[in-house]
Structures are given as structure tokens and as C-alpha cells.
Structure 1
Amino acid sequence: MRSQVVIIGAGPAGLMLGRLLELAGVDAVILERKSADYVLGRIRAGVLEQGTIALMDRAQAGQRMHAEGLVHQGVELSFDGDSQRIDFAALIDRHVMVYGQTEVTADLMKARQGRTLYEAEDVELHDLAGKPFVTFRQNGVTQRIDCDFIAGCDGFHGVARQSVPASALTTFERVYPFGWLGVLVDQPPVADELIYAHHERGFALCSQRSHTRSRYYVQVPTDEKVENWSDDRFWDELRLRLNPATAEALKTGVSIEKSIAPLRSFVAEPLRFGKLFLAGDAAHIVPPTGAKGLNLAMSDVAVLADALIEHCVEKSSAGIDAYSAKVLARIWKAERFSWWMTSLLHTFPDTGSFGRRIQRAEFDYLSGSLAAQQSLAENYTGLPD
């Protein structure tokens, strides 16, 4: 088998890259270790920047998103019950859209016309510096795909980054001493927009998936266990971390999904190794506080798609040569913003009373400074390319 590009991973990044390439007439095969049903069953957040919204339209996969997505003109931040709304529309004339990553994946799956091979096991990448090819096993049969380029969109634990010699890769990582305990519930959201709350007991987030389904989070230690949290305990803790009016308006119910996500920051450099390019979570991880993970992955593959199209169609290598440096510049800005949001809104075991007063001063400065609010709005809705 042969293809111009082999994409490892059929998450939203891999599917978007494959869709953009096929629309430009570039042949791309996607290999995915899991089944299609498993991929569609992964529950992830979904706050889309305007750039991601535009990219879904470019991929001709945005119709349902525009019909069902919830446009948000701002977010609310609170600190010990004091609230400050960040009005994106008034500050910078931009917005975001709440639309689940699962729905993005489903739309891209439906739009795709090229080959996606699910349950492709034992994927191995070969000859990255020369004439690359990929081997894998499907239905017990080992297969080989020769190609011009390989795109690693297979996540933090995927095979793509692991195929790079350790001596050729520099990584930067910070693991945070807490995680997010998240609950999904079929109840209307407590507010029209997201609420990010700092409390001395820890961070809390009121998010949503639709007008009838909500997602809530509370900060917990990294060694916490889901089974220690009954629904009642979760709702009681969430109420304690919200301002009284929001806590009173909260509608609770039986959780339909409950999990703990650890928080980390991670960047790999560079993102090109011969004919292999890394994108999405294979290249970087951000804490979810700034809603950057999915959007950063989409930004990566937009740049990579243009570079590969330029090479395959226009026979120019300028784009692929510039890919790593170009996307890393944006990645580090997103890492900075996600770190800042995380530092402001969470409690840290080693900061003590001085650290909390600094966080309070940061919140007060944000509340009183139009420039600070504009900076937050610009970063949250997506920096320009």
C-alpha cells in the first residue's frame, strides 16, 4: 500500500489533517489503534476558539456545529465569592463556542472520504530520515504503507514521539500537584457562561455541553480516587467553592460520568524529525484551565496541512521546513496562558498565606484593569496566527 501521507491517530487533530489534505487532493491514510466506537466514546471538553470554528468550516464539517454549538461572549472568574465577568465581545469583539470534542470528532469522521484504518495494532515507523514507511497489524495480518511523510497525531502516549531517538528530542514538563474531578450530569447549566472559581478549598469550574447537559469540576489531590466521591459529596463540595447565589441556583442530579484528570504542562522540541511531524498532544500538553488543548492541536494541523499541501502540490519545501519553529512559537504562548490561569485559580500546597495574597492581588488587578481583561480575552479566544 502507498500514500503520500500517513497520519497516526484518528482523534480530532488527525481527522482534521486528513480532511484538509483530501480536500486539496493529497492522499492520506489515517491509522488508529482503537475502534471507531471507542474514539467516539471519549468524553472531552470543547471550548472552540474562533480559529477552530473557521477551520471546521474550511473542512466543510461545521454545519452541525453552527446549529448546535453555544456561542459564549465571555466568561466569569471569581475569587472567594467575588466575581468578575470578562466580556470578550465588548473588549475585543470576539467569542468562543461550546461544542464538545466528541461532536467535533463525529463531524470530521462523517465528512472524511479517505481511508481511515481502525484497530491498527503494533504500529511502527521506519526510515524517518530516508524513504519512510509504516507497518501495522490489522485483523491479524501485518501490513505496510510506504509514504512521503508521516504525521504523528496519536497523543501523549502514542508511538510517533516514541519513535524519535531520545538524543534528538528535548522535552519540557511540569506536573501539577492536583487534578480535576469532573462530573457530567443531565441538568441545565447553572449559568449561561463558564464560571472559573478560586476558593481556599480549591478550584472549581462550572461548564456545559448543551442547554440540558452540564460538566462540573473540583480540584482534588493527585492521589485522590474517584470511588471516594459519591454524587452527594461532589455536589456539597462544589457548592462550598461557588459564590452563594450560584450555589443556590445549582441543579444537581445523578452523574452519568465521573473521572479525575491529572494536570501537566509538556512541550517537545523540535516537532520535525526527517519525514515525521508531531502535532497535537503528541507534541504538547496544556492544563485544561485555559481551554487550549483542542484548539492548539487544531492550530498545529492547520499549519501542517498548508505545509504538506505546499510541498505535494506546489513542490515547495518552505512550509515543512518552517513548521516546527512556527507552531512552537504559538505553543509556548498557549503554555504561558494556561500556566497563568492555573496559577491564579488553583490552591497550591506550598504557597501558604503569602501565595494566596498574591493570587488575590492578581485577581484584583484583573478586575480593575481594562488592559488586563483585554489580554485575558485575547488569549482565551485565540491569539492571531
Structure 2
Amino acid sequence: MRTQVAIVGAGPAGLLLSHLLARRGVDSVVVEARSRSYVEHRVRAGVLEHPTVELLRAEGVGARMDAHGMPHEGISLLFDDTLHHIDFADLVGRGIVVYGQQEVVKDLIAARLRDGGTIEFEAADVALHGLTTDRPSVSFTDVAGITREIECDVVAGCDGFHGPSRQAFAPTVVERAYPFGWLGVLAEAAPTHEELVYAAADRGFALYSMRSPQVTRLYLQVPADEDVAAWSDARIWDELGTRLGGMALNEGPFLEKPSITGMRSMVAEPMRHGRLFLAGDAAHIVPPTGAKGMNLAVADVAVLADALEHFFHRGSDRGLDEYSATCLRRVWRAEHFSSYMTEMLHRFDPGTERGDAFGRALQLSQLRYTVSSRAAATSLAENYTGLPHGGIA
């Protein structure tokens, strides 16, 4: 095969990049290790920032999001036994849309196949070659067991932290692991609150969220090494009720087995190696508290698509040369905001500096300031609803 851009990974980053390139007259082929069914049903993030929503609409893949997504004009912070509303619409004039990552993936796959795009699902033994030359390539074994190679001009690594793209060179990696995780459940139960609720309870953090008018998404802070088997359905609902301060909850059957997600931050610099460009989780990971993971991936490929358009149609390297630095400015802003939200809302071990009485008092002070100061609330709203793609100083 011969194409202009070989894209490794068919998550939101890889699929959206392929779609954006096609609309700019640039050919691409997407290679994905998993099956189409797997990637279309992989439940991940559900909050779309305002710039993400606007981009999907502008690029012709927002119709189903507009029909079925759930627009929100704010969030609530629950502490001191009181629900405090952060009004995004009033503070910054924009909001978010709750629409599952798997739904975005379905929309993008449908668009690429409708437009004649090539997605190679169930590709095994994916390997990258010649990345420091002007003729890199990607090899893989297809679903029929045949070894194939894609010759290209550029490789986009959109295959996550464990994929071959990030491992193809040695970027500088900085990371931070938190001593807790999120136990997440997806319940067949109608939401009882119109917006996300972030609860900073004495027993630990809880998040009340939703995926549709019929499905609720809920999380509990647990120790990083917690055994999920120790949590029965009844215990999960009881703990949610306690941490959410008696807020009314509709209980329903879980649509998937409860699972625990670790909390960590990671940034790989630079996001470029020769003709390889990293995007999304291959280059950075954020704790989910700030709802930034998928949105950062979208921001990366929005910048990369414009740079590649200039490269192929105008012969300009400038956008590609500036790609890593441009994206990393937004990445580090999102890392800071995600860390801020995580450390403000979660309980740390009482035996640690951040978990002692002094640390807890600082958390509560920050929460009270955030909900009582318009300037502090505006900063939270501005970061949560999303900063411009590529426009961070």
C-alpha cells in the first residue's frame, strides 16, 4: 500500500485525523489492533469541550451528537453538605456536551467508510520503520494472516500509551501516579440530576455523571491497589449514597462489570520523532477529574491536520516543525487543571502531607474560594469548557 499518512490507532484521535485529512485532500490509511466491534463499544470519556463540539460540527460529523448528546451549562461541586453550582454559561458563555467516546468513534468510522476511507482492523505485529527518513513505513499482519506494508510520507502515532508508536523512540517522559483510583460503574438508571456532580466527601471523592437519559455513569475514589471483587453492587450503591450526601439516586443494573481505573499523569516530550508525530494518549495522559483526555487528543489532531495540509499542499514544514511545542502548551495547561481538580477534590491518606488536617483544611479553603469568587469560578469554567486548539500562549 502507498498513502500520504499512515495512522496507527483507530480511537478518536486516529479516526478524526483521517477524517480531517480527507476533507483537506490528503490520503491516509488507519491501522488498528482491535476489531471494529471492540473500538465501537469501548466505554471511555463522555465530556466534550466546547472547541471539540464546534470542530465535530464544522467537519460534518456532529449530527448524531447534536441529536443525542446532552448539553450542559455547568457542573456542581458538593462539599460542606451543600451543592454549589458553577454556571459555565454565565461565567464564560459556553458549555459542554455529554456524549460518549464510543459514540464519537462510531460516527467517525461511519464517516470514513462512507467516504471510501481505509481502516485495517485486527492488525497484528504493527511495526514502524524508517522514521528518520522521508519514506517511513508501517508493517502489520492483516486479519487474513498476510504480512503487509504501508509506504507513506508521515506516520501519526495515535495508538495510546502501550502502542508501538511511543515505543519507537525515546522521548523524555515525566509522570506522576496518584495513590488512588476510580471505581466506575455504568448503570441502567435514569439520571436524577441535570449536571455532573463532583463530591469532595470526608470518605473520599465521588462523581455523579451520565451517558444518556437512560444511563448513569458513577465513580468512587478507592485505593490504587483496591480489589474490585470486594465491592458488591449493594456496597457500591450504599457508598455512592453516602458520599453524594443523600442526593436522590435511581438504582439500576450495571451494564458492565465494575472496574478500577488508575489515576496518573504522563507527558512525553517531544511529540515528534522524524516523520512520526504522536497524538492523544501516546503522548500524554491526564487523570480523568478534569475531563481532558479525549479533548486533548482532538486538539492534537486538529493542529496536526492543519500542519499536514500545509506540508502536502504548500510544501511548508513550519506547522510540522512547531507541532510538538504548539500542542504541549495546551497539554501542560490541561495537566495543571486536571491536577488541580484531582488534588482539590480527593482525600489523601491521613498519614501523608496532603492528607493531614492542614492539607484537608487547604482543600476546603480552595473549594470555598472557588464557589464564592467569580474570578476563581471563571477560571474553572474557562478550563473545563476548553481552551482554543493550538492557541495557548
Equivalent residue letter for 1:177? P
Show the counterpart of 1:314: 314
Residue 40 of structure 1, CA deviation: 1.0
1:15-164 aligned within 5 A: 15-112=15-112, 113=115, 114-130=117-133, 131-138=135-142, 139-164=144-169
Contact 1:185/1:215, CA 8 A, preserved across alignment: yes
Post-superposition CA distance 1:41-62 (Å, at most 9, x none):
2111211011111121233111
Please state whether the residue corresponding to 1:3 is helix, strand or coil: coil
Please state whether the residue corresponding to 1:89 is helix, strand or coil: helix
Distance 1:230 1:188 in 2: 21
Contact 2:173/2:266, CA 8 A, preserved across alignment: yes
Contact 1:80/1:243, CA 8 A, preserved across alignment: no
**Structure 2, unpaired ranges of 5+:** none
Contact 2:189/2:253, CA 8 A, preserved across alignment: no
Please provide the CA RMSD for this pair: 0.9
Residue 263 of structure 1, CA deviation: 0.7
Please state whether the residue corresponding to 1:203 is helix, strand or coil: strand
Equivalent residue letter for 1:155? G
Q: Percent identity?
A: 55
Contact 1:307/1:320, CA 8 A, preserved across alignment: yes
Distance 2:184 2:24 in 1: 39
Show the counterpart of 2:226: 224
Equivalent residue letter for 2:157? G
Deviates more, 1:13-22 or 1:310-319: 310-319
Equivalent residue letter for 1:160? S
Deviates more, 1:108-117 or 1:52-61: 52-61
Distance 2:208 2:36 in 1: 30
Please state whether the residue corresponding to 1:209 is helix, strand or coil: strand
Show the counterpart of 1:174: 176
Contact 2:78/2:197, CA 8 A, preserved across alignment: yes
Post-superposition CA distance 1:168-210 (Å, at most 9, x none):
x111100111110011111111200000000111000000001
Please state whether the residue corresponding to 1:94 is helix, strand or coil: coil
Contact 1:179/1:221, CA 8 A, preserved across alignment: yes
Show the counterpart of 2:362: 358
1:207-246 aligned within 5 A: 207-244=209-246, 246=247
Post-superposition CA distance 1:345-380 (Å, at most 9, x none):
001112211111110111111121000000000000
Please state whether the residue corresponding to 1:178 is helix, strand or coil: strand
Contact 2:199/2:243, CA 8 A, preserved across alignment: yes
Residue 80 of structure 1, CA deviation: 3.7
Deviates more, 1:211-220 or 1:224-233: 224-233
Residue 228 of structure 1, CA deviation: 1.3
1:253-272 aligned within 5 A: 253-257=252-256, 258-272=258-272
Show the counterpart of 1:382: 386
Q: Deviating runs (4+, > 2 A) in structure 1? A: none
Show the counterpart of 2:329: 329
- Number of paired residues? 379
Equivalent residue letter for 1:336? H
Residue 13 of structure 1, CA deviation: 0.6
Distance 1:80 1:137 in 2: 56
Distance 1:21 1:11 in 2: 16
Contact 2:138/2:149, CA 8 A, preserved across alignment: yes
Distance 1:26 1:192 in 2: 41
Residue 227 of structure 1, CA deviation: 1.6
Equivalent residue letter for 1:61? V
Of residues 190, 195, 202, the one that matches 1:193 is 195
Residue 243 of structure 1, CA deviation: 2.1
Equivalent residue letter for 2:252? G
Contact 1:80/1:200, CA 8 A, preserved across alignment: no
Distance 1:87 1:341 in 2: 17
Distance 1:145 1:58 in 2: 30
Post-superposition CA distance 1:6-48 (Å, at most 9, x none):
0000001100000000111101000000110111121112110
Equivalent residue letter for 1:149? V
Contact 2:45/2:293, CA 8 A, preserved across alignment: no
Equivalent residue letter for 2:131? L
Please state whether the residue corresponding to 2:255 is helix, strand or coil: strand
